[in-house]
Amino acid sequence: MERKVMRQQIGELISEAVAMFIIIAFGDSVACMYVLYDPSPYQNAYWGVCIAWGLAVTIAIYATGSVSGTHANPAVTLALATFRDFPWKKVVPYWVAQVIGAFLGAAIVYALFGPVIDHFNETHQLTREAGGAAGVFFTHPGEAITPMHALSDQVILTAFLLFGIFAITEQYNEMAPGANSGALIIGLLVATIGASMGYLEAWAINPARDFGPRLFAYFAGWDKSALPGPDNYWWVPIVGPLIGGVIGGGAYQLLIHPFLPARQRALEEARKAAGNPSQPTLK
């Protein structure tokens, strides 16, 4: 039995790593398509970048959701542990697996686009150490955005993300997507956040999405432009999403979850079955 449990736990961690590998392999590749080519195929069609990231999330969920639930985001893991009984002992292992998957996804992107990155930097007289083409791997503040403003942005954007994920996956939400379409809607949620707010700082909304590729870029020659990054920015896409995820999940649990009619009916049925109408047995 212990061996079976251990095998399942290892499978969950592999699943989380694979999910992040898929997301970064496609997501950072579309960033390469956006940044490195002139004319960019997406320069006047930014929604294409957003939908590519969103569909990468959808594909990752369909591929791995049956094994680990596809958190694919430390902010999601933390929010689920805080509000939906995900075991706290699994939180850090999930985080590590997610970062490893993102690191490996960035390695695949580099294997594909390495020559194009070098050509881009040569053409624009840039170097990796100075941050040339770094934006294909990790995020940074956009125009007029300071690191501290970016922190508040990441809190808000990730709160939107987790509020939406909690709504989409809520068992008592009768308006939630049916069958297996939730993965597609979550992907569209990611795309929508990017389309409406992505230029602020490239909508990391996921510590592993930023830190895994940033760590790879550090070892691949981007050095201090990756870690700690200009203005010591590296920690912002980690701390902001972790705070925002808890806020977003908490907002859903406080503002929507208690009032869902299906939940109220289930509570009433549980009270009757228990023969004690004063003590509900559901969360």
- Is 248 domain-assigned? yes
Q: Are 82 and 249 in contact (CB under 8 A)?
A: yes
What pLDDT digit, counting tens, does each position of 51-81 carry? Answer: 999 999 999 999 999 999 999 999 999 999 9
What is the pLDDT at residue 44?
Answer: 84
Angle between helices 147-169 and 74-83 (to 10 degrees): 60
What pLDDT digit, counting tens, does each position of 85-99 carry? Answer: 999 999 999 999 999
Q: Which residue has the higher pLDDT, 209 or 42?
A: 209
What is the pLDDT at residue 127?
Answer: 97
Domain span at 60 = 1-112+128-267
The predicted model scores a pTM of: 0.95
Secondary structure (3-state) at 131:
coil
Instruction: Note the residue count of the chain.
Output: 283
- Is 278 domain-assigned? no
Instruction: Categorize the per-residue pLDDT at 116 as very low, low, confident or very high, splitting at 50, 70 and 90.
Output: very high
- Is 77 domain-assigned? yes
Instruction: Categorize the per-residue pLDDT at 1 as very low, low, confident or very high, splitting at 50, 70 and 90.
Output: confident
Residue 17 CB coordination number (10 Å): 26
Share of the chain above pLDDT 70, in %: 97
- Is 275 domain-assigned? no
**Which amino acid is residue 1, in one-letter code?**
M
- Alpha carbon distances (Å) from 92 to 70, 78, 88, 270: 15, 9, 8, 35
- Is 282 domain-assigned? no
Domains held by the chain: number:
1
Residue appearing with tokens 């909690």: 166
CATH number of domain containing 199 = 1.20.1080.10
